Chain A
Amino acid sequence: MSDPKYYAGLDMGSVSIKAVIVDERGLVASGLIPSGGNYKTVAQKVMDNALTQAGLSFDRLSGLVITGLGAAGAPFAGRQVSDISCQARGCSLLFPSARTIIDIGGQFTKVAKITPEGRIADFLMSEKCATGSGRFLQVIARILSVPLDEIGPLSLQSEKPVEFSTNCAVFAESETISRIAEGARPADILAGVHRAMAAKVAMLVKRLKLTPDVVLTGGGGEDSGLALAVGEALKTEILVPDHPRLSAAFGAACLARENHS
């Protein structure tokens, strides 16, 4: 009986770098570290963590696919594939019924229609605008002094979401400060931000024509309040992977496995 084969996916995103290792059966190990500082060093560390978790050395990997905005700066040699394709592959394996993927990342929101085989049929990216990205949430969370992982649960407590009169993250920042001064609750401000972002996301999805099932990935997928707002804006159920920030790296690892076979 031959040794099991292992494959890795490395997603070098603007906010975090993620590594996933799979074998022929599925997920073996994963890692995630914020991207700040030296991308190469962080990527090396993430990969080392995942390999340690799996009890493997790097030379035991039979294939590696690298994706994400920082892919060109990876410290490893591997095939580069766009994160949209990796998301498509990963999500179709996690949710075979998925036909639309919404990936809300640190820099951009991407929407892709995928085929039953997990290939891209069409896609759109948000404009060069922070309102369409996770950066918007980061800015507002900083002003409210709310940790990112608490944004979702807190916003779900909202009773009267604040209406933002702007679709611009820069103006929304000053508007948030005004609302705080007026006594608005953080939960209501965050719910308002979610609605503003969801409206932008819905516009992108509608341009591609909504096709269920819809999967939400990226950092945005970890925000339960945002997932709810997107579902309400699209009037459809939103599926979220257990680890939405890892789905592109998972798809990359699966592509490495398919490429090898």
Chain B
Amino acid sequence: MEQAQQAKTTAVKGTDTAREVRALVKNIYRSAHEAKANGQKVAYMMVASQYDEILRAMDVVPLPTENYAGLCAAKRDMDRFLLKAEADGYSQVLCSYARIGLGFDSLRKDLGHIPEGSPDGGMPVPDMMLGSSAVCDPRFKWYQAASRYLEVPTYGIDVVAPPPQDDLNAVRDYYIQYQRDQLKGLIGFLEAQTGKKMDPDRLWEAIRLGDKAWQLWYDIDRLRVAIPCPMPSQDHFSIMVAGHYYSGTQIAVDFYQKLYDEVKYKVDHKIGVIPDEKHRILYGGGLPPWHTLWIFNYFESFGAVFVIENVYRGYDPVEVPSHVKDPVDFLAWRAFLRFTRYHEKARARSGNPIVEKLLDMIADYKIDGVVFHACRSCRATTIGQTHMKSELGKYSDLPMMQLVSDMVDLRDYSEAQWKAQIGAFIEALEARGK
């Protein structure tokens, strides 16, 4: 059985609805090609940039370059893009998502067409590139670097959050004003590129759909507190596509409603991911190993199920004050509230919002152990991980383990090392249960 798993990169899913995500992914790239053929504007974009609904309201077709990097890794077709970027001078320690994107753009430019056999038909030349400072710095610089290969305009939006020690009452107005200005700047850029004004009513409608989808996603995650767990992390890393790349559309709402119904049914009928759930694992952080997602099934072969995760997760629902009547103001408020969700808890205890979030997850989901994935080329999710693990250890005595590789660069992965570590981790979980 183990050999069969190793022949592929992807994981066996726990839910039927998650298996439908592959079609959603294919549709992202097909839609971008169709949009280009129809004269509609297509934009390279970044996840979690808080501008998703604006793109939908302005009929700009999103083309998520990070997702494309993950897709290439899942298809084990990343080396030609990584090596091209490195041949162009980009360091191997630079974000491997960015290296795949830059390598793809470079190859496409050299060839004069999309590289032969690119996963899902490859990415067409966009009409614009929308960078973002949310999460990490390469997301801000990547598209500036891509301008070397693409003669299309680039716009970078700053997405900000106050440090946890700040008094939120003192800084709230400033941060929201700044975020509002950033979003308005982006809207002005998009209006210039598309030649049409943004319709506030359409933006409200996209926000309504976006919030509805994310609420359903949150509700699904709350169902996962059930024992046995009805939906594992490998499903999360698929179903996030609807929330992050279809936000502001009816497609995302319908998808999550269907998934909710399936997960609810499983909870009601006590149908778990595996028949005999022995250990409940928290994916504590780090981008997922897109090149080797079957590793989640490998854990399951020992009775260990990943029941919740702290990456690419939907934001917890937040309540924007009712006096906010402008949709752009709403987005700025929502971003602020999302990013400061755990600040007060952090100030009261650990000083670290992520530690607080993990501690909540450990309690709510009845976690037995925590696994982190340190990605060699992702500074944002890896630097500080050891410290966070150590901080978490002050409040929890659960077994924790840090696996090391990269989100897409297979050269940083060692199957023998991972299996040796996982074996010892499982034994630590079992010893704890004795």
Contacts and interface: CB of A to CB of B under 8 A. Distances in A.
Contacts of A107: 416-417
B416 A81 contact: no
B376 to A, nearest CB: 9
Interface in B404-422: 404, 412-414, 416-417, 420-421
Max chain A Cβ within 10 angstroms of own Cβ: one of B390, B400, B420: B420
B427 A128 contact: no
Interface stretch (A41-49, A117-125, A229-237): A117-125
A55 to B, nearest CB: 33
B399 A122 contact: yes
B383 interface: no
Contacts of B414: 128
Contact of A120 (B402, B413, B424): B424
Contacts of B401: 123
A119 B416 contact: no
A128 B420 contact: no
A188 interface: no
Contacts of B417: 107-108, 125, 128
A248 B404 CA distance: 24
A120 B400 contact: no
B386 interface: yes
A85 B421 contact: no
A83 B420 contact: yes
Contacts of B424: 82-85, 112, 120, 123
Given A122-B399, A207-B386, A128 B404 contact: yes
Interface in B135-159: none
A124 B416 contact: no
Contacts of B420: 69, 82-84, 108, 125
Contacts of A150: none
A109 to B, nearest CB: 11
Max chain B Cβ within 10 angstroms of own Cβ: one of A82, A119, A121: A82
Contacts of B12: none
B7 to A, nearest CB: 16
B363 interface: no
A84 B428 CA distance: 10
Q: How large is the interface on A (under 10, 10 to 19, 20 to 34, 35 or more residues)?
A: 20 to 34
A119 B431 contact: yes
Interface string B160-180: 000000000000000000000
Contacts of A119: 428, 431
B423 interface: yes
A149 interface: no
Interface residues of B, number: 19
A127 interface: yes
A127 B427 contact: no
B431 A128 contact: no
Interface string A113-143: 0000001111111011000000000000000
Contacts of A82: 420, 423-424, 427
Contact of B431 (A69, A112, A120, A124): A120
A122 B423 CA distance: 13
A136 B428 CA distance: 30
A100 to B, nearest CB: 15
A105 to B, nearest CB: 10
Contacts of A120: 399, 424, 427-428, 431
A187 B424 CA distance: 37
Interface in A10-60: none
A120 B402 CA distance: 15
B14 to A, nearest CB: 26
B277 to A, nearest CB: 21
Nearest to B414: A128
Interface string B363-400: 00000000000000000000000100010000000011
Contacts of B402: 124
Interface in A51-82: 69, 80-82
Contacts of B404: 127-128
Contacts of A112: 424
Contacts of B431: 119-120
Nearest to B405: A128
B269 to A, nearest CB: 35
Contacts of B390: 207
Contacts of A128: 404, 412-414, 417
A119 B427 CA distance: 9
Contacts of A108: 417, 420
Max chain B Cβ within 10 angstroms of own Cβ: one of A84, A85, A125: A125
Contacts of A124: 402
Nearest to B2: A72
B406 to A, nearest CB: 10
B426 to A, nearest CB: 8
Contacts of B412: 128
A108 B418 CA distance: 12
A243 to B, nearest CB: 22
Contacts of A84: 420, 423-424, 427
Given A120-B431, A121-B428, A123-B428, 10 more contacts: A80-B423, A81-B423, A108-B417, A112-B424, A119-B431, A122-B399, A123-B421, A127-B404, A128-B417, A207-B390
User: 9 closest Cβ contacts across the A-B interface?
Assistant: A82-B423, A84-B424, A82-B424, A119-B431, A85-B427, A128-B414, A120-B428, A69-B416, A82-B427
11 contacts: A80-B423, A82-B420, A83-B420, A84-B423, A120-B399, A120-B427, A120-B431, A123-B401, A125-B420, A128-B412, A128-B413
